[in-house]
Amino acid sequence: MIPYGRQDINEADIQAVMQILTSPWLTQGPAIERFESSVADYSGAKYAVAVNNATAALHLACLALELGDGDVLWTVPNTFVASANCGRYCGAVVDFVDIDPRTYNMSISALTEKLELAKRAGKLPKVVVPVHFAGQSCEMATIAQLAKTYGFRVIEDAAHAIGGLYRDQKIGSCEFSDLTVFSFHPVKIITTGEGGMLVTNNPKLYQRLLRLRSHGITRTPEMEQEQGAWYYEQLELGFNYRMTDLQAALGTSQLERINQFVERRRYLARRYERMLQKLPLKTPWQQPGTHSAWHLYVVRLQLGGLKKSRRQIFDELRNLGIQVHVHYIPVYRQPYYQQLGFKQGYCPEAERYYEEVLTLPLHYRLTDAEQDYVVEMLGQVLG
One domain, residues 175 and 208: yes
Of 223, 255, 287, the last residue of a domain is 255
* Residue 244 resides in a domain: yes
For residue 240, pLDDT beyond 90: yes
- Identify the DSSP state of 240: B
- In terms of DSSP H, where are the helices of 183-302? 203-212, 221-227, 245-255, 258-275
CATH at 225: 3.40.640.10
One domain, residues 307 and 248: no
- Three-class secondary structure of residue 167 per DSSP: coil
- pLDDT for 258 equals 98
Helix (H), strand (E) counts: the chain:
14, 15
For residue 224, pLDDT beyond 90: no
The count of C-alpha atoms lying within 13 angstroms of the C-alpha of 295, restricted to the half-sphere facing its C-beta, is: 25
- pLDDT for 337 equals 98
Q: Are 4 and 325 in contact (CB under 8 A)?
A: yes
- pLDDT for 127 equals 99
- pLDDT for 44 equals 98
One domain, residues 244 and 370: no
* Residue 5 resides in a domain: no
What does the mean pLDDT of the chain come to? Answer: 97
Cα 195 off chain centre by: 12
For residue 218, pLDDT beyond 90: yes
Res. 310 pLDDT band, cuts 50 70 90? very high
One domain, residues 359 and 327: yes
- Rounded CA gap, 266 and 271, in Å? 9
One domain, residues 82 and 217: yes
* Residue 2 resides in a domain: no
List, for residues 135-169, the tens digit of each pLDDT value.
Answer: 999 999 999 999 999 999 999 999 999 999 999 99
- Rounded CA gap, 183 and 168, in Å? 21
Strand intervals (E) in 16-137: 47-51, 72-75, 93-96, 127-129
One domain, residues 22 and 109: yes
Domain range spanning residue 20? 11-255
One domain, residues 245 and 290: no
For residue 190, pLDDT beyond 90: yes
* Structural domain count, the chain: 2
Q: Are 141 and 167 in contact (CB under 8 A)?
A: yes
List, for residues 69-117, the tens digit of each pLDDT value.
Answer: 999 999 999 999 999 999 999 999 999 999 999 999 999 999 999 999 9
* Residue 4 resides in a domain: no
